[in-house]
Amino acid sequence: MRVLVAMSGGVDSSVVAGLMARAGHEVIGATLQLYDQGRSLARGRTCCAGSDIDDARRAAATLGIAHYVIDAEARFAETVIGRFADAYAQGETPVPCIACNQGVKFTDLLGMARELGCDAMATGHYVRRVDGPGGAELHRPRDAARDQSWFLAATTRDQLDYLRFPLGDYPDKATVRAEAAGLGLDIADKPDSQDICFVPDGDYAALVGRHRPEALEGGEIVDREGRVLGHHEGIARYTIGQGRRLGPAAMVAGERQAVIEVDAPRRRIVVGPRGHAGRDRLALRAMNWLIPVPPATGLEAEVQLRANETPRPARIVPGDGGAAEVELAEPALAAPGQACVIYAGGRVLGGGFIAAAPPAGLTRSTT
């Protein structure tokens, strides 16, 4: 089998390339150069630029596989960085890793793999792909601490059929590092990437300001009734549930406050008592189902609203035009722009993005 492996220069993807080669497959390594290499050299916990490309090239040489570097800077700047800044300027909290997966990785790179005549594309993500009775299924990995299924919920059924995730059955990162050492890779002890890769200094608000200056313009902090409680230094610095940067608005009438809305058109941050700031109904857009679309009566399952939170019971009602409504068993803080991923146990059933208001075409069951 000919397999293209997406190699970021990290331990995980390098091990995947080694496992595929050891299994006797014809392996082609491909590394996407996503952003300015020079800015990444000062920080060693990013990916896909600077020394990471050299690490990927060296790993491929050690494994004896072909390796190519693809210049994807312009595409990445448009589909990930630009949209990241736009989302904050619109009062949303984006998930750039999902945008990257569904843009340059699982669309462009996967398309290139098909053009090269590859039978599959493999990555170092920690998820499991299971061949079920209805086709390929996406499941949580064995190592719960490294679960990346939330970030891959936008993967389509066609993409999932083509993808392979060899690390999903590994028990922990120590085992993966031991595998890297056994393959002779000199990056076996390389630290994991943890930053937003295109913000090497960690100051995402400054990046948003360079692309969308209005997102850092000051404005009012108000309560639900519109009473001014304080002032802020840019809506890009706030997300739903946040209690920091509120100044005198952090405590009102003895109650701790939290952000409950980012009103981008009026550059207002709306706060309310933290204990009463949640919602029990959410509108979703851009739904991606990994199962047949449920009936109009809805589906009882669990949903995860943030990358590291515990799933919660909910009823999901599909709508028209890629919309859906989520009825939560209990109110929760939900930020527009974040993903809402639907699970049945460890299996991902689908996911969409939380909308600020019900999108056009949403229908609700009356039964």
- 124 known ligand binder: yes
Q: Which residues pair with 114 in a beta bridge?
A: none
131: number of Cβ within 10 Å = 9
- 122 known ligand binder: no
Whether residues 68 and 98 share a domain: the answer is yes
Whether residues 31 and 109 share a domain: the answer is yes
User: Which residue is associated with the tokens 């939290």?
Assistant: 258
What is the pLDDT, as a whole number, of residue 47?
63
Would you say residue 13 lies in a domain?
yes
Whether residues 299 and 263 share a domain: the answer is no
Q: What is the CATH number of the domain that holds 125?
A: 3.40.50.620
What is the pLDDT, as a whole number, of residue 199?
86
- 74 known ligand binder: no
Max distance between CA atoms of the chain, in angstroms, equals 68
Whether residues 337 and 234 share a domain: the answer is no
Whether residues 144 and 222 share a domain: the answer is no
| Pick from 215, 269, 224: nearest CA to 247 | 269
- Given a contact cutoff of 8 angstroms between Cβ atoms, the answer to whether 26 and 37 are in contact is no
Whether residues 262 and 285 share a domain: the answer is no
Would you say residue 221 lies in a domain?
yes
Q: What is the pTM of this model?
A: 0.92
Catalytic positions, written as ranges: 100, 197
User: Consecutive 10-residue runs of the chain (367 residues): their mean pLDDT?
Assistant: 97 98 98 72 56 95 97 93 96 95 93 97 98 97 98 97 98 98 97 81 91 97 96 96 96 95 96 89 97 96 96 97 96 96 98 74 38
What is the pLDDT, as a whole number, of residue 360?
36
- 12 known ligand binder: yes
What is the pLDDT, as a whole number, of residue 361?
38
What is the pLDDT, as a whole number, of residue 159?
97
Structural domain boundaries enclosing 337: 279-355
What is the pLDDT, as a whole number, of residue 354?
97
Whether residues 42 and 73 share a domain: the answer is yes
Whether residues 272 and 283 share a domain: the answer is no
Where are the alpha helices (H) located in 119-169, listed in sequence order? Answer: 157-162
What is the pLDDT, as a whole number, of residue 50?
73
- Of the three residues 276, 301, 322, the one that is the final residue of a domain is 276
What is the pLDDT, as a whole number, of residue 38?
55
What is the pLDDT, as a whole number, of residue 173?
97
Whether residues 13 and 29 share a domain: the answer is yes
